[in-house]
Structure 1
Amino acid sequence: MSHMLSIEPLTREAFAPFGSVIEADPASMRFINGGNTERFHALARVDAAGEGAGVIINIFRGQPRVFPYSVTMMERHPLGSQSFSPLRDRPWLVVVAEDQGDRPGRPRVFIADGRQGVNYGRNVWHHPLMSVGAVSEFIVVDREGPGNNLEEFHYDEAFVIPDPSSEELR
């Protein structure tokens, strides 16, 4: 048996229980470099716990998913946050779930435009990178260091994400 999921717009308010939305927020903008650069300041906080832990910057190249897509697993990082910021102006999906007794609950699906990133808080259940329509690259900031920073959970039943390009979602 599978359960259909709906796709929600990615907003700061809706995503707040899971982390931060990273986007050019006019409220955080300040001019620097003699007024030549707009800095959107402190859009998310990086969390890297544990002795010997550090913060690293990566590029992930995500292959597009085929829809409808069955979510059968989620993961979380107990020792650090993890952020994803797209390098191309392409929509992508963000799938998260609240913790329910050390396991993920029902997933929520957000559609991010190509100018929005997310920072998953430490220990937040999420699905691995979900590109839509084309190969997409992301700057990923996360923790490096000793300790097990990956937990996976496999659902007994699938949760199905409809095609985000379908007419019903427009």
Structure 2
Amino acid sequence: MSRPPIHPEPLSATAFAPFGDLLSAEGAPDRIINQGLCGRWHDRALLDFGPDGRAGLSIFRAEARSLPCRLEMVERHPDGSQAFLPMTAHPFLVVVAPDENGRPGTPRAFLTAPGQGVNLHRNTWHGVLTPLAEPGLFAVVDRIGPGTNLEEHWFHEPWVIAEPARKE
């Protein structure tokens, strides 16, 4: 028996809260700075690098994918959070799964809107970086430090991430 497909839902702060933080400039800024010429949305993510890690800023270029796609594996980072900030206005797919006794539960998929990024909390099961358009360029803020900060889980039966459900 095959699994039911997972339809991506729009990314919102409320829906994504169990897994991490939505990074966006929605609503009014918290502060106006730079001689009144710049809005600041202040302290939008819980960045966590553990006691022996530090923040690192890297640039990732991932190959674009299309929907439907197969979800064969998820990963998590036990020692630190990981933030993905797209360097283009293209949407990308974010797949996460709740932890169920050390293993990933049923995945959920989110489709970002232009200008949205995410910060995945420490130990959150998530799919690989999945841009839906070229060039797939992202700034990534994550933990730099000693130890192995990666755990992978391969599904016995892959999930299919389908097109978003159509609203009637």
TM-score tier by shorter-chain length is: over 0.9
Query: Aligned partners of 2:35, 2:16: CA distance in 1, in Å?
Result: 34
Counterpart position of 2:54: 54
Q: Does 1:71 align with 2:71?
A: yes
Query: Aligned partners of 1:120, 1:126: CA distance in 2, in Å?
Result: 8
Which has the larger displacement, 23-32 or 35-44? 23-32
Q: 1:100: how far off?
A: 0.5
Q: 1:120: how far off?
A: 0.2
Count how many residue pairs are aligned between Structure 1 and Structure 2.
Answer: 167
Q: Residue 64 of structure 1 contacts residue 130 of structure 1 at CA under 8 Å; is this kept in 2?
A: yes
Q: 1:49: how far off?
A: 0.7
Counterpart position of 2:107: 107
TM-score normalized by structure 1?
A: 0.92
Write the deviation string for residues 60-105 of structure 1: whole angstroms up to 9, x where unpaired. Answer: 1121114321101100000000000111110111000000010101
Counterpart position of 1:87: 87
Counterpart position of 1:154: 154
Write the deviation string for residues 28-69 of structure 1: whole angstroms up to 9, x where unpaired. Answer: 431112212211111112100132x11001111121114321
Q: 1:132 to 1:141 in 2, by over 3 A?
A: same
**Gaps in structure 1 of 5+ consecutive residues:** none
% identity of equivalent residues = 43
Q: Residue 78 of structure 1 contacts residue 151 of structure 1 at CA under 8 Å; is this kept in 2?
A: yes
Query: Aligned partners of 1:18, 1:27: CA distance in 2, in Å?
Result: 24
TM-score normalized by structure 2?
A: 0.93
Q: Residue 29 of structure 2 contacts residue 39 of structure 2 at CA under 8 Å; is this kept in 1?
A: no
Q: Which secondary structure does the structure 2 equivalent of 1:13 belong to?
A: helix
